[in-house]
Amino acid sequence: MSTKSMGLGKIFTALALATAASFAPQRSRAPSAPQRSRTGAVSSPTTAKSPSTALRATSMSLEEFLSHIVPHGPVRSICMVPGAAAIMEATSDSWLWTFSEKTMPSGKTLLTTKVPGETADDPPEFELHLDVDAAKSATLGVSPKTGGPIARILGADGAPLLTLLPAKDSAFVEKVVGKFGEEVTLERAAAE
């Protein structure tokens, strides 16, 4: 096998690990989603602490990190592999996400995030697999491109593995960035 085809194989393997598929129609919004007032302000049942007084976590598991994004959906998931001619994007109802972790025969442990199908026989409406050992940190903030909230899961080299765009009208920046700051270290969850 040539070096070029081996490199493409690695790219497609990485793309497959962070692939999201969302073909079914989106379900209705969760009843506890933040509400917009006549003035455009977003309200929620609790008021978040300001960034200057908020507790800042230095580390958490990948699943814990993703669970903080759940209330701020729908979430657009984007996977770009450097040098590849494809970008994968999917939008999902994050408040319907379920999480499970499984060690594969290769020894890699994958965190699966998915939205189950309408029935047990239906395929998932959304499914994403992330290598928990490859995800080393996450950045949080406001996207200079869209002006909306953004979270990036990064590998050891600082390259993005996955970009997540929570809903623009959510309180993500106030509640998540305000609580944890602009960077979080991702660590493997302790075995129970």
What's the CATH code of the domain at 155?
3.40.1570
Q: Are strands 59-60 and 183-186 parallel, antiparallel or unpaired?
A: parallel
Domain of 140 in residue numbering reads as 46-186
The C-alpha atoms of residue 178 and residue 52 are separated, in whole angstroms, by 8
Question: Would residue 21 count as lying in a domain?
Answer: no
Backbone angles phi, psi at 161, to 5 degrees: -95, -35
Question: Would residue 157 count as lying in a domain?
Answer: yes
pLDDT at 192: 54
- Reported for 105-108, long-range contacts at CB under 8 A and 24+ positions apart, including other chains, are 108/133
Question: Would residue 8 count as lying in a domain?
Answer: no
Question: Would residue 33 count as lying in a domain?
Answer: no
Contact call for residues 78 and 163 (beta carbons, < 8 A):
yes
Question: Would residue 53 count as lying in a domain?
Answer: yes
Token output for 111: 């965190």
Question: Would residue 57 count as lying in a domain?
Answer: yes
Cα dist from 131 to 8, 85, 121, 149, whole Å: 19, 22, 26, 24
Contact call for residues 168 and 147 (beta carbons, < 8 A):
yes
Number of independent structural domains in the chain: 1
pLDDT at 191: 61
Question: Would residue 19 count as lying in a domain?
Answer: no
Write out the chain's pLDDT in tens, 192 residues: 444 444 433 333 333 333 333 333 344 444 444 433 333 333 333 333 334 334 454 799 999 999 999 999 999 999 987 788 889 999 999 999 999 999 999 999 999 999 999 998 999 999 999 999 999 999 999 999 999 999 999 999 999 999 999 999 889 999 999 999 999 999 987 665
Question: Would residue 1 count as lying in a domain?
Answer: no
